[in-house]
Amino acid sequence: MSTKNVSKNGLVLSRTNFVTLSNVNNSIEALWKAFGAWYQKQREQAGKTQEDVAKAAAIHVKTVSRIENGEGTKRKTVIALASAIEADVNEALKKAGFAPQNTENNIPKPIKEALSTSGNLDDGDMQLIANFIRMLSEQKKNGE
């Protein structure tokens, strides 16, 4: 693979960086699509409509529809949605790429420090990013 460098606003990125970022983005999209499909199936098995869930989770019905169609959401929304259909909250969090509730925060310190300086990321956001970094490291180790 060629590593042609591109300079943008003083930041030098190689083609390899773009491919890696693209892979992460594709992984995130696949994760949310899988979560949405899983959630819709769970909701239907629970005999609930999107309207029922929206009311119980105190969110708009369009939000439920977008999530079921693969749009990402916040950790607290995943918890509310799981609770609305009486699903296992930790299973829902795991399916959505978040750490389960009541577990020790195991984000490596250098990653947590780097991410904490980048804006309004909560622990759930940082855990999601750390999980993707670990996944990419494993893929690299396995030659994928």
Q: Answer whether residue 9 is part of any domain.
A: no
Give the pLDDT of residue 26. 72
Total count of domains within the chain: 1
CATH of residue 115's domain is 1.10.260.40
Rounded-to-integer distance, Cα 2 and Cα 5, Å: 9
Residues of the chain with pLDDT under 70: 1-25, 102-123, 125-126, 139-140, 143-144
Beta strands in the chain (DSSP E): 5-8, 11-14
99 assigned to some structural domain: yes
Domain ranges, residue 104: 20-137
26 and 34 Cβ atoms separated by less than 8 Å: no
- Within-domain flag for 87: yes
pLDDT digits (tens, 9 = 90+) for 99-140: 777 544 555 666 666 666 656 666 676 677 777 777 777 766
The pTM for the full model equals: 0.57
Domain membership of residue 71 (yes or no) is yes
Please count the other Cβ atoms lying within 10 Å of the Cβ belonging to residue 130. Answer: 18
